[in-house]
Structure 1
């Protein structure tokens, strides 16, 4: 029988609308606001369902209520192996809306899972997209239009070929008044270097009558790449209302203050916001998490701190002007993008309520800021970090560390940490660790190879956080798999790209003296060379600024040799948690294809159910006609090597 990809591969984390069933009448107003109306549950990314029918006493009775199949398995797609089904459905006006990895938008009956309409934007399948996913869609209701008017309710999606599309929420038809017949070309005004390298993978944010979107950029190929400009468009007409570029122009007066030179500002690309933006409607702010400038692992062509890259930036939502910002990684050469959606919460601190924003990072840190001023709620200390030994590079001498508890170890990986199933395994891991540079977090890439711990997958990635306001608990899914990054002198690069590195990913980093190779730090059996857990679920108590609990997330099922029985050791994960009023956390995300429920008070696993494919997505939950549902996309993840499929699965308690 065919063998699944070895565990090594799990760490390379690196149209026409066809109505089928009539949709219910469109309703205006806020009746769906507690019913998962945005990708993160709400505009602030709380991922909290105010539903309590399913609770700690009865969660073990959950059963499949319905299953829907999208039919999208990547046929004819040039990089079908990269497809990842990461969507989280939203519930608005009585319909569930979701997207496939190829941007097909689907509306479902939330009670039975029947298809109401389907729109295929005909995303070209012959392009080598740097990513192949869509995390979902966004909803906008035109309060100035009659509820039954065409496109009074609009569904927006950004596509792999960089279009922003507006659809009628009732019928799935293109909204002709938006852009050019329903579509805005996002490549206009962007320096495009390669088709398929500039795309949209996350749903846009909605503020008033604005649709605000970032972009995903394949940022390892070269210095001169697409720039990560964030733009706002009129939700009715599609006209651009403002644009904000995290990289300054080469003539800006504050170049030096922002850690840029004129030459670097002109050439460098990326620093893009590829993850989900958050909106504070009352304060008129959009919170933007930005990524690293290009290329990821060598910064000699962009010396300086490179602000506003790798930052949390608060923009005035009406015009895109910077209100405040905090850089979370200076001069990034580790691919430590700010990948998690900013979490907007009201927290209790020393007897006061603070409107705060919590930003999780791939470094496994939690930064907490006052939403209005940007001042740290918990102190941030600049600590000395290792310096680069690579010619032409100059890394930042310090990096910011918050006074919140770290979710992963930042210590150096040493030969004494070598782990394996056998004596042979451990010995080979010890030899591997000895040959690399390893000085703890922020060890810079090197020609001999450097161990990055945590690796570039996190820490906390795009799965983001969930928040229980009553308990003041932040919930995070965490990765803890060290990676190795090696810089390869330009003249040697082509020769080094050989079959000797079957688990490696290469990038040219054109315009620099070095190419790059990266891979997970693995034993000959394909398991990490460091002790488990390699993935955890953690609860951070913001009142006490402590980790309430941290538990292993995921088992080795399907990832170990046949003679080793599966064990719950904590596995790499992609996807996020949700919390519910029933005192539960639901999460899939790991490599063993299970959806699990945990007790939010203790972290104890209470229930799990095997999914028909990998659940590398964040679930959502809602109540309808007296029944609570938990819904998750299960389609697998190309990079993690999980079971592929096209399923959307809803769970509920048995009918009375």
Structure 2
């Protein structure tokens, strides 16, 4: 009750909160999203805003990949795993699908399983494993091997089952503990197709999606979702999200984590866009059920309902986030819902039984005039009750200017020359600004929901993509500039290039903040607060910690103790006050923790852990560690690895960074002036 009264809730709201807690099952961080519904909420409240400054590092575990693998291979990795707290162990996977179990208090390795992933392939989405899945076979004897299991999909397209207590393969599952799904077609290269997110499991069925190389070809691999018997590995059903109807396309795969409602027997799929991403002339229509939340019977694969969030996607605005299953107070009653955040920053709230929007969703006219052969949808769905979590418009006035004349010569010029008519401006040969960019809004880190206080929390990213379509006649000899992705889109009349717009100083072209945490009152349809997350310390020259944030693709964890924990593109785990959004604490990591944090209770102490492996695509340092923190014990003092934000040196540190930046700007400005003078003399 003390927590409820402290947040200022009235008596009816407190009663609702108590009821919500009462119907919630006993919590353990036994799923990638905290629970099978992806709430990322923990009832633990030992660590609070009052004592978070007393956190110390409990342990730092290294997988050994950084020393065992070559630098070239490690540059093709992303360590995005969230550990599970199950069987008195922390269990997670490395980017190479090694499954590792640690002692929760010391970080000592208990067991390790290595599936021997080949490192000479070029995986389309880099070597990545976001997590594993835990399942208990309640029909097996208590002491039976593999009664409790760990399921994992792999970069080389295997589904593996391990004994959760020992790490040994489950002999009765498939062939020696693994099954190899049939992709059904020849791949362009071995890494074109992967399984990167944790499987979903319920009612004795385990379900896997896939991650497929984007922008390669029109007839890309199908995004078929596959289900297997969780005990034997026998194939149960398949579901192809994309309704063919004579169209030519592939994908609409499910690369993000799925959610399971065990009581209803439903699995919820966040589907992606059809192939290729940026031209859809050979796939007319809305392309159901791509870009959709899809509910299936988990035992049979039968379609129950689907809700599409983007029609005929040509922006790569697929659904990257796990659907959040929770119960909300709509004002007149409690209601079981699916909350789906998107790359555009939208939040769709759907009835869990029917898929119908809880609050109105409007079809609004969007920019037209697509490339030759394109058949755009005239409208797109816009939620009306919950405001967008991030801005959705960009203009030349938003171009970042750090040097005299820079706006005219670089960022501002690129903004002015591109097509830019707001959200859903179609890709073009001229070049189109896409904002939010394809990694923006809410990404794979997903959202968190505090059902007690009825608040949704999410990390968001803000950057601008320049998308260009390249006529087929020019594509063969096209040499993409540095920093530009290039996709052949074979079978389409256009190839494509894509780049995050950057200034000559290496900063994003749009004004900061570039990464924000947002808190939303769903019932009121109101943004409660926004807080900038991250600095440029581990990305900028000289390690300048400019407080501008960084695009956030990773997620967060919220606790009943009143804190929200998150990593970022700089090497810190952070704690924010869940009520106000004020940043309270930073814990230094060996490299950036671009993964989702989690929290657990071990021998009476609350721990917070995160995978710290950096982010190869963002250019950060690469690592291979899991780091855990807890409150200081008697006699322990917080070290340099842990610091509160409201410290006397903080303002001096920021001022020093600003002075250093000013010196760099003046030096570069001077060099630019001298160069212009030399040009004038010549």
Between the aligned partners of 1:392 and 1:77, the Cα distance in structure 2 is 44
Partner in structure 2 of residue 139 of structure 1: 134
* Residue 106 (str. 1) matches residue 84 (str. 2): no
Contact 2:442 2:553 in 1 (8 A): no
The one-character-per-residue Cα deviations of 1:28-63 (angstroms, maximum 9, x if unpaired) are xxx995220000000000001111110110001111
Contact 2:370 2:376 in 1 (8 A): no
Partner in structure 2 of residue 127 of structure 1: 121
Any residues of structure 2 matched to 1:405-444 within 5 Å, and which?
405-411=387-393, 413-427=394-408, 428-444=410-426
1:344 partner SS: strand
Question: How far apart are residue 188 of structure 1 and its match?
Answer: 4.9
1:396 partner SS: coil
Question: How far apart are residue 93 of structure 1 and its match?
Answer: 1.7
Any residues of structure 2 matched to 1:268-307 within 5 Å, and which?
268-307=249-288
Q: 1:153 aligns with which of 131, 148, 157?
A: 148
Question: How far apart are residue 581 of structure 1 and its match?
Answer: 1.0
Partner in structure 1 of residue 224 of structure 2: 229
Between the aligned partners of 2:90 and 2:237, the Cα distance in structure 1 is 30
The one-character-per-residue Cα deviations of 1:303-345 (angstroms, maximum 9, x if unpaired) are 2110100001111112111111110001111111100000011
Contact 2:153 2:159 in 1 (8 A): yes
Partner in structure 2 of residue 654 of structure 1: 632
The one-character-per-residue Cα deviations of 1:186-207 (angstroms, maximum 9, x if unpaired) are 2354554431111100000111
Contact 1:219 1:293 in 2 (8 A): no
Question: How far apart are residue 244 of structure 1 and its match?
Answer: 0.5
Between the aligned partners of 1:557 and 1:398, the Cα distance in structure 2 is 42
Partner in structure 2 of residue 610 of structure 1: 588
Any residues of structure 2 matched to 1:199-238 within 5 Å, and which?
199-238=194-233
* Residue 632 (str. 1) matches residue 610 (str. 2): yes
Any residues of structure 2 matched to 1:62-461 within 5 Å, and which?
62-73=55-66, 75-76=69-70, 79-131=73-125, 132-189=127-184, 192-249=187-244, 255=245, 262=246, 264=247, 267-403=248-384, 404-411=386-393, 413-427=394-408, 428-461=410-443
Partner in structure 2 of residue 623 of structure 1: 601
* Residue 509 (str. 1) matches residue 509 (str. 2): no
Between the aligned partners of 2:275 and 2:205, the Cα distance in structure 1 is 29
Contact 1:76 1:125 in 2 (8 A): no
Q: 2:452 aligns with which of 443, 465, 470?
A: 470
Q: 1:581 aligns with which of 553, 560, 577?
A: 560
Unpaired runs of 5+ residues, structure 1, are 1-30, 250-254, 256-261
* Residue 480 (str. 1) matches residue 462 (str. 2): yes
Greater C-alpha Rg: 2
Unpaired runs of 5+ residues, structure 2, are 1-23, 635-682
Partner in structure 1 of residue 669 of structure 2: none
Between the aligned partners of 1:112 and 1:236, the Cα distance in structure 2 is 33
* Residue 530 (str. 1) matches residue 510 (str. 2): yes
Question: How far apart are residue 490 of structure 1 and its match?
Answer: 1.2
Tell me the TM-score normalized by structure 1.
0.90
Contact 2:440 2:551 in 1 (8 A): no
Question: How far apart are residue 158 of structure 1 and its match?
Answer: 0.2
Contact 1:32 1:92 in 2 (8 A): no
Between the aligned partners of 2:370 and 2:238, the Cα distance in structure 1 is 38
Tell me the TM-score normalized by structure 2.
0.87
Contact 1:32 1:91 in 2 (8 A): no
Between the aligned partners of 1:219 and 1:505, the Cα distance in structure 2 is 11
Q: 1:539 aligns with which of 511, 516, 519?
A: 519
Contact 2:440 2:553 in 1 (8 A): no
Between the aligned partners of 2:366 and 2:565, the Cα distance in structure 1 is 37
Partner in structure 2 of residue 7 of structure 1: none
Partner in structure 1 of residue 21 of structure 2: none
Between the aligned partners of 2:120 and 2:71, the Cα distance in structure 1 is 6
Between the aligned partners of 2:73 and 2:470, the Cα distance in structure 1 is 26
Between the aligned partners of 2:233 and 2:459, the Cα distance in structure 1 is 36
Higher helix share: 2
Question: How far apart are residue 76 of structure 1 and its match?
Answer: 4.9
Between the aligned partners of 2:318 and 2:72, the Cα distance in structure 1 is 26
Q: Which has the higher contact order (CA 8 A, sep 6+)?
A: 1
Question: How far apart are residue 426 of structure 1 and its match?
Answer: 2.1
Contact 1:593 1:642 in 2 (8 A): no
Between the aligned partners of 1:227 and 1:188, the Cα distance in structure 2 is 8
* Residue 55 (str. 1) matches residue 48 (str. 2): yes
Contact 2:570 2:591 in 1 (8 A): no
Partner in structure 2 of residue 8 of structure 1: none
The one-character-per-residue Cα deviations of 1:585-620 (angstroms, maximum 9, x if unpaired) are 0000x2211110000000000001121011010010
Between the aligned partners of 1:599 and 1:558, the Cα distance in structure 2 is 24
1:639 partner SS: helix
The one-character-per-residue Cα deviations of 1:110-143 (angstroms, maximum 9, x if unpaired) are 1111111100000111111111210010111111
Between the aligned partners of 2:102 and 2:275, the Cα distance in structure 1 is 40
Question: How far apart are residue 503 of structure 1 and its match?
Answer: 1.1
Between the aligned partners of 2:225 and 2:619, the Cα distance in structure 1 is 32
Between the aligned partners of 1:67 and 1:601, the Cα distance in structure 2 is 30
Between the aligned partners of 1:416 and 1:177, the Cα distance in structure 2 is 62
